[in-house]
Structure 1
Amino acid sequence: MTQENEHKDVPKELLVPLERKEDTSEKISGPPRSFMQDARRTFFKNKFAVISMILLVIVILLSIIGPYFNEHKMDGQDLSRAKMPPRVPVLENISWLGLNGTLTSEFDGDTVEEATKNAVMRYDNKEDFIDIKVLAEGDGSKDSAEVEATYHIYEAQEMMDQYYWLGTDTLGRDQWTRMWLGTRVSLIIASVAALIDLVIGVAYGGISGYYGGRIDSFMQRIIEILIGIPNLVVILLMIIVLQPGIVSIIIALTMTGWIGMARIVRGEILKLKNEEFVLAARTLGQSGGNTIRKHLLPNVAGIIIINTMFTIPNAIFFEAFLSFIGLGIVPPEASLGALINSGFDVFRLYPYMVFYPAILISVIMIAFNLIGDGLRDAFDPKMHK
């Protein structure tokens, strides 16, 4: 029996025509994503960067509205309430948080009585408000006695109805209010530094890299001269002419802070200015300014944004350092560096004056750096998946 006869014997209902199916192995399942959509997707997959961004938003909001959270005046000075420790409603009942409004220190002496006497003298001789805990009983010869004294200063000052969330400074000013006012000043200086980078640095680097030749050589010699002048020398010159404060710091940043951005942008422009799209723009008769603005800068926007995010914490640290050594913001004005400087002199007795502003400035700088890392990965095409 031939093969043709075999097919004739098969019932027709079993013969089903073969349907040609389209190969879907390489079919695009959704609309294509742009580079910015991929960058945004990569950034939001970075949990540390997202958490840092949320923390920064909270810090910025508190720097605006935080000073109005309590009833204490922003610039009120009262020596009768100086050096009050932190005390927060509800949280004062949790002893290990250290927010119960007490001062605790350890005192030594040849005997327990002498160590106790030292504690009482240290806390204004208000023995009725001091709790003594004996840590070591000395024998008066080799080993000294040691006691732990807890001073209930709010009761001693008859201020049980008052709450200073982060305590007060040596002049009786509310630390919570001053810390957020100082954060506001530090963020303003950082924002000005970023704006200077974007305006002066990007324009200078773009023009130098695009035109090249003698223009580039002349502009780079200017940068080499400016980069050889230390920032501290510029600050000292500003202090001679102006008073220490925001203006002198901003002028110092204006003179030298944009150099790093200018050099980075120049290097990127040098790599891109001979690409086909730039040559096409020139052929169509576009001016140099339009070519830089419309074609070159959008292609280096990623590195500009990343460098700006790293410039901000550097500016904050620069201001804090200057204020700490007395060349920046000076009292009664507040900044994070000035607060740390004012509390450093009494750090051993009142560590909270340094502790809270130091934590805040650390959080701000770490957050900006983590966001910068996230943006760097987001604008790197190799990281897109």
Structure 2
Amino acid sequence: MAQDQNNQYNENNLPKELFEPLEKNEDTSEKIARESRTFWQDARRTLFKNIPAMLSLILLIVIIIMSIFGPGMNQYGYNDQDLIRSKMPARAPGLENISWLGLDGTFERSFEGNDVEGATNKAIQRFNNDEEFIDIEVISEGDGTNNSAEVKAIYHPYEAKEMEDTYFWLGTDELGRDQWTRIWKGTRVSLIIAFLAAGLDLLIGVGYGGISGYFGGRIDDVMQRIIEILAGIPNLVVILLMTVVLQPGIISITIALTITGWTGMARIVRGEVLKLKNQEFVLAARTLGTPDRRIIMKHLMPNISGIIIINTMFTIPNAIFFEAFLSFIGLGLVPPEASLGTLINTGFESLRLYPYLLIFPAILISVIMIAFNILGDGFRDAFDPKMHK
């Protein structure tokens, strides 16, 4: 009890200089802790945090740059033919001593026979009878009856053709054309067709779907019946008609991809416009006398731009795959023009003997398809408000 009285006495006798008046600030409770972000800033932030999407974007940029500058990185033109250097395996400077990379400029294959001599003779005949340039390694020796012998033969074509100082980074085809140059040239052509088709789908589909959804009524009914008719036509029928009317090439393939490709974009845009056209901000713009064209372009399109970008990102790989498919079945580009589809078709014909003609373009088109799809998934997550944190 005495201690409490002493503490109260000490508190009452504290000097006033120790106390400072508290200034009340009305805005303190409403102060925002951090700067607010717009929808686009949140979307960009979410996209940048998506590591697979960013790696895919960087990879696609590298591929696009290589498709522009890659064909000029050596002295061979994409259509330079020389039968002397036909079907040369891949050989890259600095990597030729690493055999498992497949860039050492050799052919390696196993042969079987009744005995080692028979298997060896098969190897020598297969590799142009250049016995002095073939390394033979015996895998198993047969007894001439039930068991067969097997040898592994390694052929050195660069030495056999006296081209020790020559390098074809991805090999050559049956006409002696450099595969490195043709692959990047083909990638450029495939990307041009894909971006052209996607751009036309974007322009036609967004405009058509926006008008159809905004005006509605009889206009919408007529425009949707047209879409249903076009969507019911198989793509291959359109391609065949284009090859009859026009010569096979970039223009005919792009037109064929565009004729029916924009209908999907138009339907998506129409559905989004139908949801937004009765919102308060659209009604307010109409009340103020804003023209319909300005309402569509300035009010509706920015609000559906996210879904448009996402759909476009998935349209590009579909166009690349469709072009490759057409070229593979002989309805696309005509040789000597190069695209990833024509290169895969050429490599498929020589798959057993020269697999590298198929492997390299197949790997490249697979990487492009996967990268575009991963990047499209990244855009989808970025434009989803639920993913923002």
Bucket of the pairwise TM-score, normalised by the shorter protein: over 0.9
The superposition leaves residues 45-86 of structure 1 with CA deviations (integer Å, 9 ceiling, x where unpaired) of 000000000001100000000011111122110111110000
Aligned partners of 2:108, 2:101: CA distance in 1, in Å? 13
TM-score by length of 2: 0.95
- Please state how far the C-alpha of 1:24 moved relative to its aligned partner: 6.4
Name the structure 2 match of 1:186. 190
CA distance in 1, matches of 2:309, 2:318: 15
Matched position secondary structure for 1:128 = helix
Q: d(CA) in 1 for partners of 2:45 and 2:122?
A: 62
2:240 counterpart of 1:231: no
Question: What per-residue deviation string (whole Å, max 9, x for no partner) do you get for residues 100-135 of structure 1?
Answer: 100011111111100100000000000000000111
2:138 aligned residue (119, 134, 140): 134
Q: How does 1:1-385 map to 2 (within 5 A)?
A: 6=8, 10-13=12-15, 16=19, 19=22, 27-385=31-389
How far off its partner does 1:29 sit? 2.6
Residues 190-224 of structure 1: CA distance to partner in whole angstroms, max 9, x if unpaired? 11111112110000000000000000000000000
For residues 131 and 29 of structure 2, the distance between their equivalents in structure 1, rounded to whole angstroms, comes to: 84
Letter paired with 1:12: L
Separation (CA, whole Å) in 1 of partners of 2:324 and 2:11: 96
Structure 1 residue 253: deviation in Å? Answer: 1.4
Q: CA deviation at 1:240?
A: 1.6
- Paired with 1:318 and 1:44, the residues of 2 have a C-alpha distance of 30
* 1:7, distance to aligned residue in structure 2 (A): 5.0
Within 1, Cα distance between the matches of 2:11 and 2:175? 109
2:29 and 2:350 map into 1 onto residues whose CA distance is 71
Task: Return the offset for 1:248.
Answer: 1.6
SS in 2 for 1:71: coil
> For each residue in 1:303-351, what CA deviation from the matched residue of structure 2 results, as whole angstroms up to 9, or x when unmatched?
0000000000000000000001111012100000100000101111111
Provide the rounded CA distance (Å) in 1 between the counterparts of 2:9 and 2:266: 81
Distance 1:10 1:366, change over 3 A: same
Q: How far does residue 27 in structure 1 lie from its aligned partner after superposition?
A: 3.8
Distance in 2 separating the partners of 1:196 and 1:354: 31
Question: Deviation at 1:18?
Answer: 6.7
C-alpha separation in 1, matches of 2:363 and 2:321: 13
Between the two proteins, what is the percent identity of the paired residues? 68
**Structure 2 regions of 5+ residues with no counterpart?**
none
The CA deviation at 1:26 is 6.7
Opposite residue 290 of structure 1, the aligned amino acid is R
- Rounded to whole Å, the distance in 2 between the matches of 1:286 and 1:123 is 77
Q: Structure 1 stretch 135-144 or stretch 315-324: which is displaced more?
A: 135-144
Name the CA distance, whole Å, in 2 between partners of 1:17 and 1:242.
89
SS of the residue aligned with 1:107? strand
Count of residue correspondences: 385
Alpha carbon RMSD of aligned pairs, Å?
2.0
Q: TM-score, normalised by structure 1?
A: 0.96
Q: Offset of 1:8 from its aligned partner?
A: 8.1
Secondary structure at the aligned position of 1:91 is classed as coil
Q: Output the amino acid matched with 1:264.
A: I
Unpaired runs of 5+ in structure 1?
Answer: none
- Tell me the CA shift for residue 94 of structure 1: 1.1
